[in-house]
Structure 1
Amino acid sequence: MCGIVCAFDLKEKAEGLRPQLLEMSKKVRHRGPDWSGIYASENAILAHERLAIVDPASGKQPLFSPDGSLVLAANGEIYNHRELRKQFEGTYDFTTQSDCEVILALYKEKGIDFLDDLNGIFGFAIYDASRDEYFVARDHMGIIPLYMGWDKNGTFYVASELKALEGFCNKIELFPPGHYLHSKEGEVKRWYTRDWMEYDAVKENETSIAEIREALEAAVHRQLMSDVPYGVLLSGGLDSSVTSAIAKKYAQKRVESDDKTDAWWPQLHSFSVGLEGSPDLAAARKVADHIGTVHHEIKFTIQEGLDAIKDVIYNLETYDITTIRASTPMYLMARVIKSMGIKMVLSGEGADELFGGYLYFHKAPSPKDFHEETVRKLKKLHMYDCLRANKSLAAWGIEGRVPFLDKEFIDVAMRINPKDKMINGERMEKWVVRKAFEDYLPESVAWRQKEQFSDGVGYSWIDTLKELVEKEISDDQLANAGYRFPIQTPTTKEEYYYRSIFESHFPSDAAALSVPQEPSVACSTKIALEWDEAFRNMNDPSGRAVAQVHEDAYEK
């Protein structure tokens, strides 16, 4: 996981801007503590902070084409880089073993029409010095963060995190997932589009449990590509248990050798986090014992969590309630993982969006409503779970990989018949995934009810947060929130509390507008609030807010 900061369409002399870019780049150095690199010409500056995962010895960036005319600053991993390289044997002179170098070869060969060839996670910028053109792109789901901004003179910037642009840009936007920007065309355009985005394309499809199983196994296997020690995040819930169990199956052999040679680090380490006695710690221990990982329990106290919130909001760059609740334990866990020398982890994000795993999906009125909500959820994921998984880990120089959001696996998961994802008297949420992997896991885990990560680390974590904000924020402050925060006015005391901290780090209106805000019950989108009368006047992202579904639902 790296950090990039690039400037194009320079409206000032490059020698004046270069020191500024170095300063901006320093703000994302936590993402890439292993090496810093910069390219500067009259018309473009590309700075890179490297976290070395593949080819640590020679893969430093920016990367150049053999003739030096193309310059690449990339944050991400290209999982199919070895297959893609084969088409260039004898025609392109690769100078490193870096997985990202293939991006340069593809761009040289195909121009901008190569993005769907990549299976990976990425946010990158290419500068073509011979034509004075630039090309910026972000992966299909926005697993890797990317922002764009303009300063008062009109110089255009892209950066991995908001903090690099704050204070320098007076206009900041999220670079949308699945899109690219080519300077020759001058506008951001979508490259990632799929037939399954429409219900009519999938409503008659057959569902194959075997295909789901094979596709996820292939995704996890692909994503074990690493030249450094790695681990798995294991909450004890279904999703992380499945990805951990599959990883254990392949961990003995080195993926880069097509599983012919022994892995460099064959012992798979798993990590869970929670308050003493939390549901997740107990369930994770059971899974770890079952699959045979070297397991580490990371326990935190409520006070440690509360003390970390200010740092969490700085690193996560959000004031979204669910994200902060769930990111705090993850941020604390990441620090311990880093202390053990682990630089990459697999995580279970994405399954709930693909398969309708959130408890409010119990209320979906029809397969069409169910499917359309999963599509909406996937489109918004870059602002929530992807942001949490990436930035909580990157704060400590760890790369997070998410096999459920593998580009090829998403196609398989989203093309199964939505009626087979529906929750009814016979089937619980994510039945398809449970069925596909029940032989991998203890029965009590394979069929355990969904816990949102912020709930599963221990219910008292959220309950204490609510008590804290009740004390900190008065009724008058909330009633007059529109005066202090006219843009995206907070609607609850918890949101007001987080927003105040966010403002202390990122005071600009441009920064505030980069954060999503919509009412939600148990992580629903706004449209899904119409599914049930009880949802309409409620705004609580916890899974326990779904009455008569969660086993520990809030009492009325």
Structure 2
Amino acid sequence: MCGIVCAFDLKQKSEDLRPQILEMSKTIRHRGPDWSGIYSDDKAIMAHERLAIVDPASGKQPLFSPDKKLVLAANGEIYNHRELRKQFEGKYDFQTQSDCEVILALYQEKGVDFVDEMNGIFGFAIYDTEKDEYFIARDHMGIIPLYIGWDQNGTFYVASELKALEGICTKIELFPPGHYMSSKDGEFVKWWNRDWRDYDNVKDNKTSIAKVKDALEAAVKRQLMSDVPYGVLLSGGLDSSVTSAIAKKYAQLRVESDDKQAAWYPQLHSFSVGLDGSPDLAAAQKVADHIGTVHHEIKFTIQEGLDAIKDVIYNIETYDITTIRSSTPMYLMARVIKSMGIKMVLSGEGADEIFGGYLYFHKAPNAKEFHEETVRKIDKLHMYDCLRANKSLAAWGIEGRVPFLDKEF
């Protein structure tokens, strides 16, 4: 997980705005404590706070195209970056092993019509120094947060969290999931469109448990892409138990080597959180014993939870009661996970929305309304469960990945 703060359409001198952008970027340094980078010229400023997960040694940002004409500040992971790189063999001189660098190659060759080729989680901005144009995009589900704003002078800002824009921008908007924006017209364009959203397109589909199993296993496996220690969040419920079991299955070999090399960190650690005596802790321990993870129980008291609420609200940037309640234990757990040197975790968000797992789905009057409710819930994930998982973990410099919301799955 990283953090970006960018300014375009500058209405003040770049040298005057640059210190301000650095201060704005500092407010989200928790998202990327490993390195700070900045690019600035007369017309744009792009700051980046890095959490190094893939290519820690050379993948610092902003990233540049070989001719230095394109500049990229990205927060996210491109899971299929190795496959995408193959089309540029002999055509593009990659400067790093960073998964995000492929975004520059795609944009240089295809313009704005490349986003759907990527399978990943992202919020990024590209700046073309030659044409003075910028391009901004957010992932299909809004797993990565992204906001835009304007100050009183009309300078345009892009940031990973609201707190970076607070006090600077007089107008702030959510950048919608599954959209991109080009400075050529300044319009939001929906790039993620799927026919399964319409019930009539799926009503005759046959259920295949085998296909679901294969697709989920593939999603978990590709999301194990990491050059640093990682773990799994395990509540003891079905969703996280399944993703944890699959992760354990593939943890011994390095995904980046096509399973030809031993994993750098083969011992899979699992984490659960709860009050003392919580049934979740007991269930998680049973699953951990069964699948063979190195399991860690994180216990907190009600008072510790209450004491953390103010910090939780500051970090997750919402007053939604249900989100705050569920974010509090996750926020406390993330601090302990960080103390153990883990920088990335898999989590089970999205399964209830996709499969209709909430109890009230049993009362759906018919299949059509069941389907339409799942689509409605999926559309709102970026404001609730995705926001909670991302920001609760990012508060302590941990990246959360969600295999159930994998674009291919």
Aligned to 2:99: 99
Task: Extract structure 1 runs of 4+ deviating beyond 6 A.
Answer: none
Aligned to 2:373: 373
Q: Note the 1:175-324 alignment, pairs <5 A.
A: 175-324=175-324
Aligned to 1:43: 43
Q: For each residue in 1:93-150, what CA deviation from the matched residue of structure 2 results, as whole angstroms up to 9, or x when unmatched?
A: 0010000000000000100000000000000000001111000000000000001101
Letter in 2 for 1:300: F
Aligned to 2:144: 144
Mapped partners of 2:130, 2:282: distance in 1? 59
Q: For each residue in 1:214-252, what CA deviation from the matched residue of structure 2 results, as whole angstroms up to 9, or x when unmatched?
A: 000000000000000000000000000000000000000
Letter in 2 for 1:299: K
Residue 266 of structure 1 and its aligned partner are, at CA, apart by 0.3
Letter in 1 for 2:399: E
Q: For each residue in 1:329-356, what CA deviation from the matched residue of structure 2 results, as whole angstroms up to 9, or x when unmatched?
A: 0000000000000000000000000000
Letter in 2 for 1:157: Y
Mapped partners of 1:66, 1:38: distance in 2? 18
Query: Which protein has the bigger strand share?
Result: 2
Aligned to 1:338: 338
The DSSP-based 3-state class of the residue aligned with 1:25 is: helix
- Confirm or deny that 1:14 pairs with 2:19: no
Mapped partners of 2:315, 2:43: distance in 1? 31
The DSSP-based 3-state class of the residue aligned with 1:47 is: strand
Q: For each residue in 1:126-179, what CA deviation from the matched residue of structure 2 results, as whole angstroms up to 9, or x when unmatched?
A: 000111100000000000000110111111101000000010001111100000
Mapped partners of 2:77, 2:308: distance in 1? 29
Letter in 2 for 1:9: D
Mapped partners of 2:283, 2:122: distance in 1? 33
Mapped partners of 1:64, 1:189: distance in 2? 25
Q: Unaligned stretches of 5+ in structure 1?
A: 410-556
Letter in 2 for 1:33: P
The DSSP-based 3-state class of the residue aligned with 1:196 is: helix
- Confirm or deny that 1:121 pairs with 2:121: yes
Residue 185 of structure 1 and its aligned partner are, at CA, apart by 2.0
Mapped partners of 2:200, 2:185: distance in 1? 33
Residue 48 of structure 1 and its aligned partner are, at CA, apart by 0.1
Mapped partners of 2:131, 2:88: distance in 1? 23
Mapped partners of 2:185, 2:207: distance in 1? 41
The DSSP-based 3-state class of the residue aligned with 1:407 is: coil
Aligned to 2:356: 356
Q: Unaligned stretches of 5+ in structure 2?
A: none
Residue 385 of structure 1 and its aligned partner are, at CA, apart by 0.2
Aligned to 2:386: 386
Mapped partners of 1:403, 1:196: distance in 2? 19
The DSSP-based 3-state class of the residue aligned with 2:408 is: helix
TM-score, scaled relative to structure 1: 0.73
Letter in 1 for 2:101: E
Mapped partners of 1:302, 1:13: distance in 2? 50
Mapped partners of 1:283, 1:217: distance in 2? 22
Mapped partners of 2:46, 2:82: distance in 1? 26
Q: How many residue pairs align between the two structures?
A: 409
Aligned to 1:543: none
Residue 366 of structure 1 and its aligned partner are, at CA, apart by 0.6
The DSSP-based 3-state class of the residue aligned with 2:221 is: helix
Q: For each residue in 1:37-84, what CA deviation from the matched residue of structure 2 results, as whole angstroms up to 9, or x when unmatched?
A: 000011111000000000000000000000000000000000000000
Letter in 2 for 1:182: S
Q: For each residue in 1:160-212, what CA deviation from the matched residue of structure 2 results, as whole angstroms up to 9, or x when unmatched?
A: 00000010001111100000000002211111010011110000111111000
Mapped partners of 1:359, 1:44: distance in 2? 49
Letter in 1 for 2:59: G
Aligned to 2:75: 75
- Confirm or deny that 1:153 pairs with 2:120: no
The DSSP-based 3-state class of the residue aligned with 2:169 is: coil
Letter in 1 for 2:150: W
Aligned to 1:60: 60
Q: Note the 1:394-405 alignment, pairs <5 A.
A: 394-405=394-405
Aligned to 1:32: 32
Mapped partners of 1:357, 1:74: distance in 2? 33
Q: For each residue in 1:474-510, what CA deviation from the matched residue of structure 2 results, as whole angstroms up to 9, or x when unmatched?
A: xxxxxxxxxxxxxxxxxxxxxxxxxxxxxxxxxxxxx
The DSSP-based 3-state class of the residue aligned with 1:281 is: helix
The DSSP-based 3-state class of the residue aligned with 1:107 is: helix
The DSSP-based 3-state class of the residue aligned with 1:216 is: helix
Residue 279 of structure 1 and its aligned partner are, at CA, apart by 1.3
The DSSP-based 3-state class of the residue aligned with 2:267 is: coil
Mapped partners of 2:174, 2:358: distance in 1? 26
Letter in 1 for 2:376: R
Mapped partners of 1:400, 1:206: distance in 2? 32
Letter in 2 for 1:272: S
Aligned to 1:440: none
Mapped partners of 1:27, 1:321: distance in 2? 24
Letter in 2 for 1:326: S
The DSSP-based 3-state class of the residue aligned with 2:272 is: strand
Aligned to 1:3: 3
Letter in 1 for 2:268: L
Mapped partners of 1:72, 1:60: distance in 2? 11
The DSSP-based 3-state class of the residue aligned with 1:33 is: coil
Q: Could you say what the CA RMSD is over the residues aligned between the two structures, in angstroms?
A: 0.4
Mapped partners of 1:68, 1:301: distance in 2? 52
Residue 33 of structure 1 and its aligned partner are, at CA, apart by 0.2
Letter in 1 for 2:334: A
Mapped partners of 1:265, 1:399: distance in 2? 17
Mapped partners of 1:361, 1:39: distance in 2? 49
The DSSP-based 3-state class of the residue aligned with 1:170 is: strand
Letter in 2 for 1:239: D
TM-score, scaled relative to structure 2: 1.00
Task: Point out the structure with max Rg over C-alpha.
Answer: 1
Aligned to 1:515: none
